[in-house]
Structure 1
Amino acid sequence: MKKVAFICVHNSCRSQIAEALGKHLASDVFESFSAGTETKPRINQDAVRLMKAKYGIDMEREQYSKLLSDIPPVDVVVTMGCNVSYPFLPCKLREDWGLEDPTGKSDEFFLETINKIEQKVLELKERIKDI
């Protein structure tokens, strides 16, 4: 089973959403992890609320903000679009999803971001089946 790491600076919003959706939509193809170069005390509460409403997923139940050193070696690294450089993580595939941080924005913007992440997780699932 492939391992995918979703990486963002604080590991509190976009990368957490991607980890949750990876587990929800693609666990038959890859294991999902998320991490950051820094951590926050809690996952973004708007993300938690909207993911619970849209998918019935309680991100706070099994997820928490983690550092890069807290996750296992991975096959795929996906950065969320934070425009920062990350320490090198060895992997077979690396890509950046270029997503704007929805923190502090409207629910509509948050839901647009969640929808984009869902689509990208499904696309990634199809692309990495055979790597």
Structure 2
Amino acid sequence: MSKPNVAFICVHNSCRSQIAEALGKLLASHVFESYSAGTETKPRINPDAVRLVKQRYGVDMEATQHSKLLAELPPVDIVVTMGCNVQCPFLPCQYREDWGLPDPTGCSDEVFLQVINEIEKKILSLRDRIAAGELTQ
């Protein structure tokens, strides 16, 4: 059985969704494939997100990821929106959930780390639910 494709979606695909993609690849690549995209893009991933993820996990998001549009995604099985308080466009999938995460852009490292910690917890939960067969057929 192939692994499901999970897309982490946020408006600019420059912070929370990029962190989720990186942590999905790091912590759950044996269970699902991680992608991220947005309805708009930014020229680069948020520098604070890049710095803090690199410090904490040793992952350099700028070396392996970039801001992408929804049209660049492969077909996905699971869509996770970050909680952007905007109407996300329809993206066909088997399962969808919203994580309701605040955008830490422009905030202190402490706030960023709280969001990163929450994303890590949610990635681990998602990994476990997918592995248990709870989200996809």
User: How many Å apart are 1:104 and its aligned residue?
Assistant: 0.2
| Aligned residue number for residue 120 of structure 2 | 118
Alignment of 1:11-90 (within 5 A): 11-90=13-92
Q: Which runs of 5+ in 2 are unaligned?
A: none
* Superposition RMSD in Å: 0.5
User: How many Å apart are 1:103 and its aligned residue?
Assistant: 0.1
| 1:90 partner letter | P
Deviation string for 1:39-65 (max 9, x for gaps)? Answer: 000000000000000000000011000
Aligned residues with identical type, % of pairs? 73
User: How many Å apart are 1:27 and its aligned residue?
Assistant: 0.2
Q: TM-score, normalised by structure 2?
A: 0.94
Q: What is the alpha-carbon distance in structure 2 between the residues aligned to residue 91 and residue 128 of structure 1?
A: 14
Q: TM-score, normalised by structure 1?
A: 0.99
Q: Which runs of 5+ in 1 are unaligned?
A: none
| Aligned residue number for residue 94 of structure 1 | 96
User: How many Å apart are 1:13 and its aligned residue?
Assistant: 0.1
User: How many Å apart are 1:87 and its aligned residue?
Assistant: 1.4
User: How many Å apart are 1:107 and its aligned residue?
Assistant: 0.1
Q: What is the alpha-carbon distance in structure 2 between the residues aligned to residue 14 and residue 73 of structure 1?
A: 21
Q: Which runs of 4+ in 1 moved over 6 A?
A: none
| 1:57 partner letter | V
Aligned pairs, number: 131
